[in-house]
Chains A and B, each alone.
Chain A
């Protein structure tokens, strides 16, 4: 995708006698630093938090003609401006000294015991600009400390310099308004609203925004000093966003995750899952090959286990012919590991599956309309379609969508309701659960009906707007309103959060001519490296494997880094099917739903242990780097190669070799080189030309109405789920069970906000705290079940 060249107006100004020319609208602090080479010190200025507020006053400068000193952060450069910073202006220097003196008046200066020490902006600026001693002879302000504001973050109010970065993040970026300033004047303190724990999914970002040691991650307190750590640049594989991170390594342990700002991917934000979730304790990990013996799973020798496994797999591949073996993955492998498993699958003529539904593979056809994450920033309309919240599949995308809305994009949420983005959206279009397919078809019909300069009238429609809207359970006038928005928008972005088949998305994208715009389609995959696994050839869906298992066609299955018993909506069927399968081999980090049914269990390498590359939801190839050795001592790619050897084929035993092989003949990796996978990976992809969709549009019907008294269940897999999250104590509050009840149902059943409510569904019982939603479709209930309990299936709800 090419961005149109725009002529940028520039202004010319003088900073400390240096003439600089900068684009119009550049903030003076930025211009000074980047163009004049003059650092203007700052504390509160952080452009990612929205407009500057000019609170800390550290950046005061003299502007010729202005009666008073001005905060450089709130000034944009004007033509002919003459600026004197503290470097050349005695008045500005005096003011800056004054501000730093004021900031330090009540600051405890406990750097020797402060975790921020050594990487603290206040410490650095004090060292460079600060006074040698203090004229403050009175007692300093003291507060109770440390104060936990959530299980993951502690607050030290004495160290706080009240720059309001944290409250601005909470109020203006995450838009939760949970962090607030209380009291006023010198007694102002940062607090959580109503003393509730800070529960936002992105709360950890405030620990990085804080320019002092006031907000610290609880897990990192008193853990390390900057000179005894190594920060390893890597990429988070908690979901498919691929946020760039640093992993802070100290004495063989990952102690902290920091953002490594990639503006096009994460903008320097991380979700709390990516930041705090750990695959710990390590001694509970599966660290050796295990074989089922008389007493259950027993440790075995690597070569013995791998040889036996190879023999068993080979046996069933030859006995049952093609497809007797299935290799099932779920996005947990690196591209290089996946390539090795692809070779093994080929040698066994095995079925493969890398995503919960096979239709996901069709999504690659949407590449002609693909929108990168950054397209959301430029969008004039953002439409989120699906039952699931975008953040559940791609954590930080939530922040980007909110930012787009604040910048003027029209946000529409399409789904059954009860999600976090709806309240601030310009339009909320309510549908039945699991109605994404019908809804997209209805929108396509409405777009074609509306027509317009860019609308392709040859787009296939599956019926009339009225009929399809009725199928989706949507108001037809609202569907037409949204179609109007989409037709009128120059750069619309469609975020699809459910695994609906690509045909409907493709039909809409074609009708709208999205391939011709800077907008596009952004479908959110389930697995972190689902795209990568698919790109190397592990295609197919779990939904294809399951019937084959049940029919006995597949007699040997290898589950690599996935647990369909928990992660699929058909967990119960999987459990039964696996129980009757001859050979179940699983590769897992911890014992889980499938290891208990496996004859062989092999250790899975998790993040911080893997060296390789992954492909994020945009198609961006990024490098993950190891901080730690795998718990087993043998990297997965290496033992996979040994397994391949026993199958008498050869796979690459190192990621570098595997990657070079991919780069040589796989279009997704074309032009890339292992040694050049940069720290901030570019999006190495061009849109293929769009062609008129050929497949007929078939509309999947939404779930039928449940029996009397039962509810339609909406239970997509939440962001805060998975083996690492469940083992991280400080994230317990993030996965506290909730039940979102429609207002009308709550009235009828006498359920109040905060009540304990039980929801019985096909896989189990979910007892959670009630939240009441006026937007959630009455007759349905939304839960944050740890697995994917399914959407559109039936549930029964009752007060606990």
Chain B
């Protein structure tokens, strides 16, 4: 297997990945204190563990930022309960869970085992994105090692509790990162969101009470057990504690994954870690939390990474995928590329998302091709309004929010496309290969007969 790419030396603030390279071998992981947190946790009661989680104020790393301790406390009782780990990382611009699995898979497994012990779960399922073939095999390898060492599949560390962990690979649907869709997929059905209630905490995997958490959230748990919830809460801000992985991509000198305390700012991330803009380019905007989030403008660069800070700035921290956009970028293209993704990934269950993402995409294609009409820019905004907040899950919002923010922040570019009857951007602008400048007609949409 080819070695994983080399990673930048982490700085002193890193907690999750405080080392360079990877620690996939269990011996190496244990030599650095691995599975000690599990030993400590097994000496604690479920209530104590939940209390530590609540004290840490850890917020879910999957995107919504829901307090993880509180979530664990909601889990309904019952003889059969499951832990499901969401590793279906598919949001464009987000690739942090992949980094954790590639470099420190045992930390995830240790977190899974602590969680399982905490809820006395029947089994854990790690639902991993289908495209993450290599990551899945690394995870399987690490699980096999942990099993060999007796951490799972047999009574846990002198108790009579037997934890079991399975890896379940997705089949390439973005929607399966949405918790209810993930669960329907895991249950063997077509991966589509379901109405809540019933919430997963009551009826999830195999219709049993289920606790569902993001890979990074679970991987953070050994840290919390090790440090103590209160000490962990000392890092970051009051409402957003700890450190978090950020995936930095786009027009930046040093793209990659960076672990940052949540008290830092986007300037620290983009200019500090990322080395700022490439030579000769200026910042046009940055998407703070994965492609579904409204774009922030250069004057908002000092916005904090904390969940509450990003909300105050008019966007959301989401999953931590930061996309940097430079001055050459055609925002119509950027909106179109984003909308196309969500149209492609819409599951088709609810009306506004299914029809709205397609209509938005088609209108943006027209606009980018220079065939748009003046009123269609406002029509786009209107469609976004009619999609957002009206869907079964947030996939529709994920299309509407960025498109609307691109139009609102860069309205003149959209109007310019209409006025000129073509895209005004030079041939060397990003994404030209996707949307060639001579395009004069909308791309045909494939119909399935």
Residues of A within 8 A of B (CB): 51-58, 60, 68-69, 71, 74, 94-95, 97-99, 101-103, 105-106, 135-136, 138, 141-144, 161-162, 164, 180-189
A361 to chain B, nearest CB (A): 46
Please, which residue of chain B has its CB at the minimum distance from the CB of A96? B390
B447 near A143 (CB under 8 angstroms)?
Answer: yes
Majority-rule SS of A interface residues: loop
When A and B form their complex, which 6 residue pairs have the shortest distance between CB atoms, in order from nearest? Answer: A98-B386, A188-B348, A185-B346, A186-B358, A102-B355, A54-B195
In residues 333-362 of chain B, which contact A (Cβ within 8 Å)? 343-352, 354-359, 362
Q: Are A189 and B448 closer than 8 Å at their CB atoms?
A: yes
**A185 close to B351 (CB less than 8 A):** no
Given A164-B349, A181-B190, A188:B386 Cβ within 8 A: no
What are 26 residue pairs bridging A and B, where the CB atoms are less than 8 Å apart in the complex? A55-B350, A55-B392, A56-B351, A57-B390, A60-B390, A74-B195, A94-B386, A95-B390, A98-B385, A99-B386, A101-B386, A102-B356, A143-B448, A144-B449, A181-B190, A183-B348, A184-B173, A184-B175, A184-B345, A185-B354, A185-B357, A186-B343, A186-B355, A186-B445, A187-B447, A189-B448
A55 vs B134: C-alpha distance in the bound complex, in angstroms? 36
In the complex, which residues of chain B have a beta carbon less than 8 angstroms from the beta carbon of A95? 386, 389-390
Question: Could you say which residues of chain A place their CB within 8 Å of the CB of B448?
Answer: 143, 182-183, 187, 189
Given contacts A55-B349, A68-B389, A143-B447, contact A188 B195 (CB under 8 A): no
B211 to chain A, nearest CB (A): 22
Query: CA A103 – CA B390 in complex, angstroms?
Result: 14
Number of A-B contacts (CB under 8 A): 114
* A98-B390 in contact (CB<8A): yes
The B290-345 residues at the A interface (CB cut-off 8 A) are 343-345
Chain B stretch 435-449: residues in CB contact (< 8 A) with chain A: 442, 445-449
Closest partner residue, chain A, to B356 (CB atom): A102
Using CB atoms, name the residue of chain B closest to A92. Answer: B390
Query: Is B391 close to A, CB under 8 A?
Result: yes
User: Chain B contacts of A143 at CB under 8 A?
Assistant: 447-449
* Distance A180 CA – B173 CA, assembled complex (angstroms): 17
CA distance A187 to B449 in the complex (A): 10
Q: Assess A105 versus B355: contact at CB under 8 Å? Given A69-B390, A181-B190, A184-B348.
A: yes
Closest to B392 in A: A54
B444 CB, nearest partner CB in chain A, Å: 9
Task: Tell me whether B366 is interfacial, beta carbon within 8 Å.
Answer: yes
Contact status A103-B351, CB under 8 Å:
yes
The distance from the CB of B387 to the nearest CB of chain A, in whole angstroms, is: 8
Which residue on chain A has the smallest CB distance to residue B174? Answer: A184
Q: Would you call A186 and B390 a contact (CB within 8 A)?
A: no
Contact with A53, one of B194, B343, B363, B389 (Cβ below 8 angstroms):
B194
Contacts beyond the supplied A135-B379, A138-B362: 13 A-B pairs with Cβ under 8 Å? A53-B194, A69-B389, A71-B195, A71-B392, A95-B390, A102-B354, A136-B359, A162-B349, A183-B448, A184-B175, A185-B343, A185-B344, A186-B348
Contact yes or no, B350 A186, CB < 8 A: no
Of B355, B379, B447, chain A has the most CB atoms within 10 Å of the CB of B355
- Indicate if the CB atoms of B447 and A141 lie closer than 8 Å: yes
Instruction: Give A259 to B351 CA distance when docked, in angstroms.
Output: 28
- A142–B447 contact, CB under 8 A? yes
Q: Cβ of B359 and Cβ of A105 under 8 Å apart?
A: yes
Q: Which residues of A contact B346 (CB under 8 A)?
A: 184-186
Residue in A closest to B355 when the chains form the complex, CB atoms: A102
CA distance A187 to B391 in the complex (A): 18
Per the bound structure, the CA–CA distance linking A553 and B449 in Å amounts to: 67
Docked Cα-Cα span, A106 to B355, in Å, equals: 8
A52: chain B residues at CB < 8 Å are 195
Give the residues in chain A near B190, CB-CB below 8 Å: 180-181
Question: CA A142 – CA B447 in complex, angstroms?
Answer: 7
Tell me, in angstroms, the Cα distance from A58 to B392 when the chains sit together.
11
Give bound CA distance, A71 to B194, whole Å.
12
Q: Is the CB of B347 within 8 A of A185?
A: yes
In the complex, A795 Cα to B343 Cα: how many Å?
Answer: 58
Chain A residues, Cβ within 8 Å of B194: 53
Interface centre among A144, A161, A162 (most CB of B within 10 A): A162
Residue from the list A74, A99, A106 in contact with B352, Cβ < 8 A: A99
Chain A residues within 8 Å of B379, by CB: 135
- A164 (CB) vs chain B CBs: closest residue: B349
A185 and B348 contacting across the interface, CB-CB below 8 Å: yes
Give which listed residue, A94, A102, A144, contacts B351 with CB less than 8 A: A102
**Is the beta-carbon distance between B390 and A185 smaller than 8 angstroms?**
no
Which of these, A54, A68, A138, A180, contacts B350 with CB under 8 Å?
A54
Residue picked from B345, B351, B390, most chain A C-beta under 10 Å:
B351
Nearest opposing residue in chain A for B190, CB measure: A181
> Can you name the residue of chain A whose Cβ is closest to the Cβ of B349?
A55
Closest A residue to B366 by beta carbon equals A138
Residue among A51, A56, A98, A180 facing the most chain B CB atoms (10 A cut-off): A98
Which residue of A has the minimal Cβ distance to B348? Answer: A188
B449 partner residues in chain A, CB cutoff 8 A? 143-144
User: Please, how many angstroms separate the alpha-carbon atoms of A60 and B352 in the complex?
Assistant: 12
Could you tell me the distance between the alpha carbons of A186 and B366 in the complex, rounded to whole angstroms? 18
Residues of chain B lying within 8 A (CB to CB) of residue A164: 349
Chain B residues lying within 8 Å of A71, measured Cβ to Cβ, are 195, 392
Chain B residues closer than 8 Å to A106, beta-carbon distance: 355
Contact assessment for B355 and A57 in the assembled complex, using a CB-CB cutoff below 8 Å: no
Q: Do the beta carbons of A102 and B347 come within 8 Å of each other? A: no
* Distance in angstroms between the alpha carbons of A68 and B390 in the assembled complex: 8
Is the pair A102, B447 in contact by a Cβ cutoff of 8 Å? no
Q: How far is the CA of A138 from the CA of B380 in the complex (A)?
A: 13
Question: Is B391 touching A57 in the complex (CB atoms < 8 A)?
Answer: yes
User: By the criterion CB–CB under 8 Å, are B351 and A57 in contact?
Assistant: yes
A98 touches B352 (CB 8 A): yes
Complex CA gap A98/B343 in Å reads 18
Q: Tell me the complex Cα distance, A57–B390, Å.
A: 7
**Cα A162 to Cα B386 with chains together (Å):** 19
Provide the B356-393 mask, 1 if CB < 8 A to any CB of A, else 0.
Answer: 11110011001000000000000100000111011110
A53 contacts B195, CB within 8 Å? yes
How distant is the Cα of A432 from the Cα of B349 in the complex, in angstroms?
47
In the complex, are the beta carbons of B362 and A99 less than 8 A apart?
no
Nearest-Cβ distance from residue A629 to partner chain B, whole angstroms: 46
> How far is the CB of A143 from the nearest CB of chain B, in Å?
5
Q: Are B386 and A102 in contact (CB under 8 A)?
A: yes
Which residue of A141, A185, A187 has the most chain B CB atoms within 10 A of its CB atom?
A: A185
Closest to A135 in B: B379
Q: Which residues of B contact A138 (CB under 8 A)?
A: 359, 362-363, 366, 442
Residues of A within 8 A of B344 (CB): 185
Cα A385 to Cα B424 in complex, Å, equals 77
B residues within 8 A CB of A161? 351
Asked if A162 contacts B348 (CB within 8 A), the reply is: yes
Q: Give complex CA distance A55, B352 in Å.
A: 9
Quick one: closest B residue to A91, CB to CB?
Answer: B389
Task: Report chain B residues within 8 Å CB of A98.
Answer: 352, 385-387, 390
- Tell me which residues across on chain B come within 8 A of A103, comparing CB atoms: 351, 355
Chain A residue at smallest Cβ distance from B390 = A95
Identity of the chain B residue whose Cβ is nearest the Cβ of A52 in the assembled complex = B195
With a 10 A CB-CB cut-off, give which of A69, A97, A187 has the most chain B CB atoms.
Answer: A187
User: Contacts A52-B195, A95-B386, A99-B390 hold; do A181 and B352 have CB atoms under 8 A apart?
Assistant: no
Task: For the complex, give the distance between the alpha carbons of A57 and B389 in Å.
Answer: 11
A71 to B345 alpha-carbon distance, docked (Å): 23
Question: Closest residue to A139 on the B side, CB-wise?
Answer: B445
Residues of A within 8 A of B348 (CB): 162, 181, 183-188
